[in-house]
Amino acid sequence: MTTSPTAHLAALSAAGLQRLQSFLNDGSCLLAFDFDGTLAPIVAHPESARTPLPVIRAMEPLLRTHEVAVLSGRSVEDLMTRLGFEAHHLIGNHGAEDPACPLSLQRAPAYRARLDGIRAAVASTWSAALVAQGVRMEDRGLSLGFHYRLSRQRDAARRLIAELLAAEGQGIRAFDGKLVINVVSVDAPDKVQALQSLMTRRGLTRVLYAGDDASDEQVFRQHQDPDWFTLRVGGDARLSAATFHLNATSDMPMFLAACQRRCSRLQ
């Protein structure tokens, strides 16, 4: 993994806050966040995830000064039930689902159909083996997630998932998350492409992006320039390509409050 030379610079340090204040110099900056592990803590059962109230309260003032986007591996419909605030832009399925993008809507049926073979295989021949290994498939419509957090033999669970995808998956792209293997159509946009499309449509050139896992690292690696404020939440900062680091999701309210203080000076 590529490592940024300043990947271990704490976002809430004096230097980090100084950079944050200079970055949020006007309302033309997009504030974009992953959901699970970034705005909301990772939980054993994904259906239990919710944005904590302190994060919601800290986010609300920012919605009045900046455009806010949330990008998630979840479907947009699922995300809306868990967020607790009305973001200006919601993008789901790791970038494949963007309800405000006509091209995304046009191609969505093809993205979904590309995963039908895996769905059918899991419902029939692979069901018992997955259950025995403690693997649960989450069907998000335009993506699938194979969760093995509750497996007692995680290496064996990963091997089983890999075997399934090799046998049944055609025209797919698979990538790791936190104790989950995600699957999308090979031609579906990723988070980088979805973000760039949103910024182009909205005429924005600067973005603060916060995330916590492998799909977010792709964004961090491709954008290490002054127009991007990249923030890794949790994990080993030395292994991240993000420019700044936040220790845990529990620090997000403090970080958002720092953003709010800067934005208040602009009003």
Tell me which residue range forms the domain holding 142. 107-185
pLDDT at 262: 65
Q: How many structural domains does the chain have?
A: 2
Integer Cα distance of 158 and 181 in angstroms = 8
Of 7-16, 102-111, 186-195, least confident by mean pLDDT is 7-16
Residue 1 lies in a domain: no
Instruction: Name residues whose C-beta falls within 8 Å of residue 130's C-beta, 6 or more positions apart in sequence.
Output: 122, 136, 137, 146, 160, 164
* In a shared domain, residues 75 and 58: yes
Q: Say yes or no to pLDDT of 151 above 70.
A: yes
Give the type of residue at 49.
Answer: A
Same domain, 94 and 206: yes
CA atoms within 13 A on the CB side of 74: 20
Looking at the chain, the whole-number percentage of residues with pLDDT higher than 70 is 94
111 located within any domain: yes
Q: Does 116 share its domain with 173? A: yes
pLDDT average, residue stretch 141-154: 96
Does the structure show a pLDDT above 80 at 208? yes
Q: Which residue has the higher pLDDT, 182 or 224?
A: 182
- pLDDT, one tens digit per residue, over 34-59 is 999 999 999 888 889 999 999 999 99
In one-letter notation, the amino acid at residue 4 is S
pLDDT band at 137 (very low <50, low <70, confident <90, very high): very high
CATH of the domain at 127: 3.30.70.1020
Cα atoms in the Cβ-side hemisphere of radius 13 Å centred on 199: 19
Residue type, 126: W
Identify the pLDDT of residue 267: 45
Last residue of a domain, one of 185, 214, 248: 185
Provide the pLDDT for residue 3: 43
Torsion sign, CA atoms 52, 55, 61, 67: negative
Residue 177 and residue 47 share a domain: no
Residue ending a domain, among 156, 185, 214, is 185
What pLDDT band is residue 2 in, cutting at 50, 70 and 90?
very low
257 pLDDT band, cuts 50/70/90, is: very high
Each residue of 215-255: pLDDT tens digit? 899 899 887 778 899 999 999 888 899 999 999 999 999 99
Sheet holding 89-91, edge to edge: 9-10, 244-246, 228-233, 206-211, 29-34, 68-71, 89-91
84-110 pLDDT, tens digit each? 999 999 999 999 999 999 999 999 999
Could you tell me if 47 and 174 lie in one domain? no
pLDDT category, 27, cuts 50, 70, 90? low
Beta strands 228-233 and 244-246, pairing class: parallel
What one-character-per-residue DSSP string does 173-205 give?
EEEE-SSEEEEEETTS--HHHHHHHHHHHHT--
For the chain, give the mean pLDDT.
91
Cβ-contact 70, 39 below 8 angstroms: yes
